[in-house]
């Protein structure tokens, strides 16, 4: 029998429902009064980094061609009777899907006929249909997509950084794979990976907005088929704490130089807790937000533009790094300024007032998104797949101290593990 847990936050005066369905699927329902839109998200913990894995019912790990998770995302919308996009369009719902390094998610949004939209979502994701002919056709389509991203400067500057930071972890490889790797994919590969990772025990359903747990559970009872009790573990090659190279430069057709500056964080086998994650966000906010001294200096010196400069805690299964990026007329000067600020913070630390101010701002920014069913549905799924819980993460901003942030500074700021990726404009003779 399905079990329903009410997850509440006294601090925020809000709640959502976590349901462990009979089929093995974890279901989240986040009702929001006064919102007409329903947003549904059906996701699996299967992304581009999952090339090597071991099933609990098999003795050996297996390795597959790069790009299968993304390939499956494309193919699941198709069936013998048409495609899921058309089914959603007929009832006035929009739909989409995306693959990341760690997950694949299928979604819909609508303002009416939400029950029908949820049934379509659960139906097509559970109904794979692949043939040699349809796989071959898709190889050509995805091959063109890969070539398009190969010409995308923002994509290239990021992956050049990841290849500068990581020796063996598949995070350094393109989410869609390569033209060569997808040419190896067969219908058998797709079915094998589908039946491994699209086991409902490896998935989650998240519905937010105009919805009730009773109605979502009723539709799940109707549509979900029980899954075998099989667990999947990721298998990654050993990743050294050192970086591959400190600097990667490439020339592409850009109007102004782009850069990504990253600091690799060692011992990333275990993902951090809610409080550690929030503490790292506070650290980056103090160091590099648009109200920070570093940002103001860079802006005053015309080294960055306000729209493009960003910082991120980039973390997942077996990898973690701090990344700063943007557009600059002098990327090396920006990177040196970041290094200088790292040294200053290590030497001086941060004060309690700055920590409280930043934590309050980040808490408020998160809460402001609670009127978006899309953000809510994704947030609870993000937390589920990373072993964290949404309210615990948000409440931890109230607990963070200067000592917590200063400890993170000492743990994370190591210039020996820093790498920079720069994309420069083509030289004059290359343009002509």
Averaged pLDDT, groups of 10, the chain, 432 residues long: 93 94 97 96 97 93 95 90 91 97 98 98 95 91 91 96 97 95 95 96 97 97 92 92 97 96 88 95 97 96 93 95 97 98 97 98 94 96 96 97 97 96 82 46
Q: Domain spans of the chain?
A: 3-234, 247-426
The pair of three-digit structure tokens given for residue 18, joined into one six-digit string: 């976590």
Among 305, 314, 307, 359, residue whose Cα is nearest residue 334: 305
Domain 3-234, CATH 3.30.830.10 — does that match? yes
Collapse the DSSP code of 9 into the 3-class scheme (helix H, G, I; strand E, B; otherwise coil) and give the result: strand
Phi, psi for 235 (deg, rounded to 5): -125, 110
191, exposed or middle or buried, with CB in 10 Å at 0-12, 13-18, 19+? Answer: middle
What is the 3 state secondary structure string of 242-309?
A: CCCCCEEEEEECCCCCEEEEEEECCCCCCCCCHHHHHHHHHHHHHHHCCCCHHHHHHHHCCCCCCCCC
Domain range 247-426, CATH architecture? 2-Layer Sandwich (3.30)
- Known catalytic membership, residue 73: yes
pLDDT at position 432: 43
**Do 3-234 and 247-426 fold alike per CATH?**
yes
- pTM confidence score: 0.93
Q: Which of these is catalytic: 8, 73, 119, 281?
A: 73
pLDDT at position 338: 98
pLDDT at position 268: 75
pLDDT at position 252: 95
């Amino acid at each position: 029998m399905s079990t329903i847990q009410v997850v509440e936050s006294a601090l925020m005066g809000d709640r959502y429902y976590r349901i462990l369905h009979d089929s093995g699927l974890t279901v989240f329902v986040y009702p929001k009064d006064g919102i007409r839109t329903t947003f549904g998200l059906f996701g699996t913990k299967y992304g581009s980094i999952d090339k090597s894995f071991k099933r609990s019912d098999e003795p050996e790990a297996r390795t597959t061609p790069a790009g299968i998770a993304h390939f499956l995302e494309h193919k699941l919308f198709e069936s013998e009777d048409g495609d899921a996009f058309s089914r959603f369009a007929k009832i006035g719902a929009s739909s989409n899907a995306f693959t990341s390094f760690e997950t694949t998610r299928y979604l819909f949004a609508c303002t009416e006929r939400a029950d029908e939209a949820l049934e379509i979502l659960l139906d097509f994701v559970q109904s794979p249909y692949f043939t040699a002919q349809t796989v071959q056709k898709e190889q050509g389509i995805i091959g063109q997509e890969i070539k398009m991203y190969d010409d995308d400067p923002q994509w290239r500057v990021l992956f050049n950084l990841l290849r500068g930071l990581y020796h063996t972890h598949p995070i350094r490889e393109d989410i869609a794979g390569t033209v060569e790797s997808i040419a190896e994919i067969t219908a058998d590969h797709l079915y094998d990976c589908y039946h491994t990772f699209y086991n409902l025990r490896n998935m989650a359903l998240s519905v937010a907005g105009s919805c009730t747990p009773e109605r979502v559970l009723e539709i799940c009872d109707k549509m979900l088929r029980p899954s075998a009790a099989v667990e999947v573990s990721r298998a990654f090659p050993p990743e050294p704490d050192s970086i591959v190279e400190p600097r990667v430069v490439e020339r592409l057709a850009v109007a102004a130089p782009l850069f990504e500056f990253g600091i690799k964080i060692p011992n990333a086998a275990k993902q951090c807790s809610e409080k550690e994650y929030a503490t790292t966000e506070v650290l980056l906010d103090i160091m590099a937000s648009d109200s920070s001294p570093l940002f103001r200096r860079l802006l005053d010196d015309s080294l960055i533009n306000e729209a493009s400069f960003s910082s991120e805690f980039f973390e997942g299964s077996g990898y973690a790094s701090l990344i700063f990026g943007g557009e600059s007329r002098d990327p090396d000067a920006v990177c040196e300024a970041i290094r200088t600020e790292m040294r200053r913070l290590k030497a001086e630390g941060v004060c309690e007032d700055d920590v409280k101010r930043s934590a309050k701002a980040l808490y408020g920014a998160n809460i402001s998104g609670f009127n978006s069913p899309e953000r809510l549905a994704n947030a609870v799924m993000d937390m589920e797949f990373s072993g964290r819980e949404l309210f615990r993460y948000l409440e931890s901003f109230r607990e963070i101290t200067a000592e917590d942030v200063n400890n993170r500074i000492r743990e994370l700021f190591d210039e020996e593990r820093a790498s920079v990726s720069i994309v420069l404009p083509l030289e004059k003779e290359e343009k002509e």
